[in-house]
Amino acid sequence: MELVTFWFILITVLWIGYLVLEGFDFGVGMLLPILGRNDTDRRVMINTIAPIWDGNEVWLIVAGGATFAAFPEWYATLFSGFYLPLLLILVGLIIRGVAFEYRGTIEGDRWRNLWDTAIVVGSTLPALLWGVAFANIVRGVPIDADKQFTGTLFTLLNPYGLLGGLTTLLLFAFHGALFLGLRTEGEIRARAIALAAKLSVPAIGVAVVFALWTQLAYGKAWTWGVVVVAAVALLTAAYGAFREREALGFGSTVLATASAVVLLFGCLFPDVMPSSTNELFSLTIHNASSTHYTLVVMTWAACFLTPVVILYQSWTYWVFWHRIGATKIPPGHGLPWSTPEAEASYR
């Protein structure tokens, strides 16, 4: 296998890790005003992701760094052409991160409601815009002979791109509802699973349309298998939601999200950024890559560091994988492990 192909596959894996893990984070944030009927409910929801949300974002940093090092031309064209959407995603992630930290610092409904709104906005923007961005990458954007993006923001606001954004928005909301069903107990668990069942219908409908459009317009023979896997996974997730088998449902949305990323990157290969101006101007894994020596050095580093990151994050999930509910939330507005008594309940 060529090193450029290896790095294309590795970047695909990194995006799978990010969108699967951050996907349910986004879902929890978006559903905060829907499932959180009072402050305690919202604190339960936030604390299901509080120990892990920042670790999930590491996958984005690594994916971006790997793209910059392995395919600098791709990175440069992508970030110049998609500057405003990526900036909005970054702003959303910053707002959400600040909200998690500041929400419990002051007693008061107005203060908490302000940061709850920030969490919703900071979750919804990336959930929508990542789909728009990836759909446009697969569709192709105006790139000239100098590998420069020649379009505008409105170039990205096409029907296929907007459908991609709606797909990720609904899929992450569905994913997040099942995650809450898996991580909570009591009334909020019941409401989360019931909402997941309702979300399954529009999520599956929109995802099927997007997947078929993608496959028919940009797919390859082997990616039909990925479409089938994604469809079966979504149907299984819906079954899990309706039958209140949240573990089955959540595992299925993990598979569906991973399949969606494989479908998009599979449709791209061997391009990394197709040009809608002229296919000769498209960026490929060969004309957008770093030198062979750079890829060799990076490969040795990746072979050592990637397993370490996976093992560490797996351990983190193992430590904090406990159901929580209103009875485990201490007085005040801090995190549930902010008191010795609360910490003891997690051991």
What's the pLDDT at 287? 92
How far is Cα 340 from Cα 213, in angstroms, rounded to an integer? 53
Domain boundaries, the chain: 3-344
Helices marked H in the chain — which ranges? 3-30, 32-35, 39-49, 53-56, 58-70, 72-81, 83-102, 109-139, 153-156, 159-183, 187-218, 223-242, 246-268, 292-320, 340-344
HSE, CB side, 13 Å, CA atoms: give it for residue 124: 10
What's the pLDDT at 294? 92
Joined together, the tokens standing for residue 179 give 């995650």
How far is Cα 35 from Cα 31, in angstroms, rounded to an integer? 6
Let me know: does 91 contact 162? Beta carbons within 8 Å. no
Cβ-based neighbour number of residue 298 at 10 Å: 19
Convert the pLDDT of each residue in 82-102 to its tens digit: 999 999 999 999 999 999 989
Q: What is the mean pLDDT of each run of 10 residues along the chain (347 residues)?
A: 92 96 96 92 92 90 93 92 92 94 86 94 96 95 90 88 97 97 93 97 97 96 97 97 96 97 96 92 93 92 87 88 82 48 39
HSE, CB side, 13 Å, CA atoms: give it for residue 293: 0
User: Which residue, among 64, 43, 52, has the nearest Cα to 20 in the 3D structure?
Assistant: 52
What's the pLDDT at 341? 41
Let me know: does 104 contact 123? Beta carbons within 8 Å. no
End-to-end CA distance of the chain, in Å? 46
Convert the pLDDT of each residue in 249-290 to its tens digit: 999 999 999 999 999 999 999 999 999 998 899 999 999 999
User: Which residue, among 238, 176, 177, 244, has the nearest Cα to 205 in the 3D structure?
Assistant: 238
CA 236 to each of CA 20, 73, 149, 209, 256: distance values in angstroms, whole numbers, following the listed order: 17, 40, 40, 18, 10
Joined together, the tokens standing for residue 169 give 């928005």
The DSSP letter of residue 330 is P
Assess whether the previous peptide bond of 159 is cis (omega < 30° from 0).
Answer: no
Three-class SS of residue 141? strand
Which residues, 6+ apart, have CB-to-CB distance to 40 below 8 Å? 326, 329
Let me know: does 176 contact 24? Beta carbons within 8 Å. yes
How far is Cα 324 from Cα 182, in angstroms, rounded to an integer? 10
Assess whether the previous peptide bond of 330 is cis (omega < 30° from 0).
Answer: no
What's the pLDDT at 332? 59
What's the pLDDT at 331? 67
Identify the helix (H) or strand (E) that includes residue 271: strand 271-273
What's the pLDDT at 321? 83
What pTM, to 2 d.p., does this model score?
0.92
CA geometry: angle 173, 178, 180, nearest 5 deg: 95
What's the pLDDT at 80? 86
